[in-house]
Structure 1
Amino acid sequence: MAFIQEYGLFLAKIATLVAAAVVVVALAARARGGRGEREGLRVRRLNDRYDEMRRRIEHQAERGGRLRRRLARAGKRRNRSRRAGEGEARLPRVFVLDFDGDIRASAVDSLREEVSAVLKSARSDDEVLLRLESGGGTVPSYGLAASQLARLREKDIRVTVCVDRIAASGGYLMAAVADHIVAAPFAVVGSIGVVAQLPNLHRLLKRHDIDFELHTAGEHKRTLTVFGRNTEAGREKFREELDAVHGLFKEHIARYRPQLAVDQVATGEYWLGTRARELGLVDAVGTSDDLLLERAERMELVELHWERHEPLTRRLSLVLESALARLR
């Protein structure tokens, strides 16, 4: 009876999550209903945004000569940079991308399109600035995301990754590809390790006289199982596979950051931005906002975002997956 009650409570929680996810997706679908369902690249010039901020401040500041003079000097520097580039086709550009990672790194679908767009138009003096936020997830998905950034490196396009909050595990796998990594003082960085966990219900099923059969072809086709009886040999093989992935993770880090003492930091631990800088995990401490303001003085900032139309079932699964992740 206790088992049935616990199972019923579990189903009630799942049903609540599904209902909440349906509501969220429905509201999102209604909100975007008027904008159309087509995929495509959205481009926004961020310099205009900063210029508009400056104009509003100057207009509103009735008193503040010092501020106006500072803004005027910044405007003159920007204008000189623009005039210096008038003889060329255009100013150097910073392509600004965003990656908000979930467990499956689903944002990689947009990232690959954005990277392809950059490769079609970038020059050797251009730069890609990626604002990255991820606590990691599945190895194949984040490996693919890191490979997208490697495409830029292979074409000699400078890549800067900014970590304002977190780049851990798979997130750091991506960040390590960059030429330059900047992290906020209290951003979480690192977690160079591999983890896998699964429940085993074999004893529970046995207690209730429920049989479970698993048939495989191949000695290591299934090392551990949720419902069957796990063996020590299976556990050992599973740990061996985890160690192999961890080894590849460390090789990846060493390839792109050879100055880093990989064995010292590849313990699965994480560090805050300031300490991560001391260890060599990142190159500088700061925020993406500071970098963009600095680049805006001498470069054209172009924000790219590939908008995708996700089917309702896909959006529902992502919302539900995110909700379940928060429960863990």
Structure 2
Amino acid sequence: MPSIGVVLFPGFQVMNLASLTAFELANLELGRDFYDVIFLSEEGGPIRTSIGMVIETEPFSDRRFDTVIVVGSVRVDASAPGLVERLRETAATARRVAATCTGAFLLAEAGLLDGRKAATHWAHARALQRLHPSIKVDDDRIFVSDGNVWTSAGMTAGIDLTLALVEDDLGAEMSKGIARMLVVYHRRTGGQSQFSALLELQPRTDRVQKVLAYARGNLRNELSVEELADAAHLSPRQFSRIFREETGQSPAKAVENLRLEAARTMLEDGRHSLDAVAQETGFADRERMRRAFLRAFGQPPQVIRRNVRHHEPGQTA
């Protein structure tokens, strides 16, 4: 039975524990206790989360774990030296080591990320790189696997990480079935971006939000200013002015960003040809899509697709 040692510390963020449901549901699907999840802390006993919930833990011991997972916190402070040392000792005998969100900082303090590629929450990526220059911090990936060390971005990205761990153990079909039970998109690939075009735009009014939703749902259309203005029930001139005031972008630029995000998602999915991606996302042809990718990412679509495959489970970063 693979044992999962989950390392907790005072003030950790409880959202990190949601990702552990993937192991629970794997046991349910198998009809037996395949995974054994144990909560660990430096001294054992009750550990209080940042929101006040208390979790009972066991102290570190000589027990060997198949996988050790370190959770993250909202605030990143230096870890207790004793916790760092116990983590280092326990990780040395584990088959895999992982961290969700800012748990990467604790792995880094233990020297477990030296010379490796790693992910963490985008808001803390620069700090991780500054404090630990030997790490190759990727501030845009959902999760990264480098050898036997796995790290993820923040919050819900931990679910993608644990689904990937389950896939590594039990196969893609099991992971896909668990994702359906969790009502999440079947495990986003590690190469997928942490950022969203709609979140970046952040319109203030429902009217502009509805236009963006319309554009996202009709990417195959031309999506001219006239078409978008009609969806907003405004004149093209009024619409262009209001749209730029609320989003800081022109309608044409926003539409291109939505097309890029949709195209990148399809490329990461790996099931569509470049021609199909270009048609479905409104770029019309591969060359137009290639130019847009070069402007936005500095790389053509083919390289983006190869990078995603490189981050798949079983591949080193």
Q: Which has the higher contact order (CA 8 A, sep 6+)?
A: 1
TM-score above 0.5 = no
TM-score, normalization by structure 1: 0.27
Give the greater-gyration-radius structure (CA): 1
TM-score, normalization by structure 2: 0.27
